[in-house]
Structure 1
């Protein structure tokens, strides 16, 4: 029998997390699925931990290290179902995640992307995600009116909380294998520009920010990041996409500032439309590196107790 879902998990040096991740899949209330784990040349005991989980629905492929985009695309090609559910090897699902995605797909069968609400967890503290222009009523399901406007605080799509039909990849392409940073954002943009996006605001995925060996802990300057200028033509007639990309430019400029990459920071700042950002963001861009680092450290400390929406 063809599985209803194919769950694709790229795996690289996550020996401390992969077992719990797989257990969160096995414990799903809806169980007609296969799991495609792609071991991307792990050098720790990730592979051993993955194959310890005894479940006939799990298939583990081992390949040479080619990066997360290649690993995801490899898993998608080997998936048996038309419905691809993504999950990173250090994140978790609540038991109703797949059941929720099934409900969302059955209600809106013609979308290019299906997304669930998620919570970020850092140092044991849950940080609520904020989505712009999305109804606050419990268990709201619907088509997102404007993906880019709704993603100005937290992104509607996140890799461990989305489902994508294979037909979508046929229309817009898969993950860009030349990127190892922002490859997911690049795909979300391509999908949202061409196809409708469905969203369910019931939280069912947990993003663990303190997991081991996260690529986001590597300096941005050491990674091949998405070049947002490739969307310059698309932004000419799409102000919401322009604002969305503008905030990404701000984020990159601040990251380069923190890393001390002055030339890269200056280049990124040349792309920013300062008329479209907040006074706080303008201030952070103007402040010296050490003050920005101090502010962010204070934010992380206070955020243990308060949800700081001023930064969103």
Structure 2
């Protein structure tokens, strides 16, 4: 039985899947299986995968049903102790699985294992992740005291840098398939885990988040996406100030997306659920701006990140 089962959902990533797979094959830690779920790709993704001759690769072709169903199918087929996730356009440094394995050895009862990572916006703009009150390059293996508070700048848990014990998923369930097109299915699972188990972090940079990749599901038209149901945590957020703040940051981000898409009714619904004490001055201004000014603000933000190289919070 392999130690890691690596789940890679694949949909029209012919231009990137080879580089992603090479980053797995080149891992220092070798005890793993790779489960690739081709979610109905219509490009040359299948041919790119079949160029790899490695008996650790298990390839499954399905009709297109979305990333959550693809990951869940991979989890069902998994034989490993830890489930590691990797999107078909992201990248692991050779130390990634080695660091995760060490983290597991140090904290075998934890529910979520994750590492530091970097975010690539284009060839000239790559930034190390920014955690609240935690040095992402500190070379430490640590239990996160407050997962929700620590994730208020950049998220502690990013899917392609995470691993979850198979037993935890068996208890809590896998990804919520009612959430579509990358609209929070991973966030939903991390919240459910963090409410019941320790989240542990290795502050080593082991992965690259390719935000400049083509065909990202998060770029799907907002009105075609089904977002995470944050109200399902209503009971918990009343008892957990950090969770309330974290959920309000997500509500803020989703509300802005609906406002920019022209769905003012849904934007208002999310806005009404926010305690404005959790928003900073800039956010309070943005959430009241008309669509035209919001779109202008978005263009300016994109310029600052891509051209000026300025780092911004995930929620601003």
Q: Quick one: structure 1 residues 268 and 90, their matched pair in 2 at CA, closer, same or farther if it must change by over 3 Å?
A: same
TM-score by length of 1: 0.96
Out of 12-21 and 130-139, give the one that drifted further. 130-139
The answer for the alignment partner of 2:134 in structure 1 is 134
SS at match of 1:286: coil
What's the counterpart of residue 119 of structure 1? Answer: 118
Secondary structure (helix, strand or coil) at the match of 1:116 reads strand
Other structure's SS at 2:195 match: helix
Corresponding residue number in structure 2 for 1:192: 194
Q: Does 1:19 pair with 2:34?
A: no
Whether 1:177 aligns to 2:177 is yes
Q: What residue is the counterpart of 2:90 in the other structure?
A: 91
Instruction: Write out per-residue CA displacement over residues 79-136 of structure 1, whole angstroms, 9 at most, x where no aligned residue.
Output: 1111111000110011110111111111111100001111111122102211113246
1:217 counterpart residue number? 219
* Equivalent residue in structure 2 for 1:305, among 301, 305, 308: 308
Partners of 2:16 and 2:309 lie apart in 1 by 28
Q: Partner residue of 2:33?
A: 34
In angstroms, what is the RMSD of aligned CA positions? Answer: 1.4
Is 1:160 aligned with 2:160?
yes
Question: Is 2:200 the counterpart of 1:201?
Answer: no
- Whether contact under 8 Å (1:127, 1:307) holds in the other structure is no
Distance 2:166 2:97 in 1: 17
| Local SS of the residue matching 2:212 | coil
Offset from partner CA, 1:220-242 (integer Å, 9 cap, x none): 22111111011111111111100
Decide whether the 8 Å contact of 1:97 with 1:204 is kept in 2.
yes
CA distance in 1, matches of 2:131, 2:23: 25
**Consecutive unaligned residues in structure 2, runs of 5 or more:** none
Asked if the contact 1:87–1:161 (Cα under 8 Å) also holds between the matched residues in 2, the reply is yes
Q: Is the 8 A contact 1:14 1:90 kept in 2?
A: yes
Give the CA deviation at 1:64: 1.6
- Residue 168 of structure 1: SS of its match in structure 2? helix
**Deviation per CA, 1:250-281, whole angstroms, max 9, x where unpaired?**
00111111112112112211111112210000
C-alpha distance in 1 between matches for 2:122 and 2:297: 18
Deviation at 1:207, TM superposition (A): 0.7
Measured after TM superposition, the shift of residue 57 of structure 1 is: 1.1
Paired positions, count: 311
Name the structure 2 match of 1:245. Answer: 247
Taking the aligned partners of 2:189 and 2:10, their CA distance within structure 1 comes to: 20
- Say if 1:248 and 1:29 are closer, same or farther in 2 by CA, change over 3 A: same
Question: Residue deviations 1:279-303, cap 9 Å, x none?
Answer: 0000111122222222221222222
In the alignment, which residue of structure 1 is the partner of 2:103?
Answer: 104
* Native 8 Å contact 1:299 1:308 kept in 2: no
Report SS of the residue matched to 1:247. helix
> Separation in 2 of the partners of 1:56 and 1:184?
29
Q: Structure 2 length as normaliser, TM-score? A: 0.95
Give the Cα separation in 2 of the matches to 1:43 and 1:237.
47
Task: Output the CA distance in 1 between the equivalents of 2:312 and 2:178.
Answer: 34
Matched, 1:235 2:237: yes
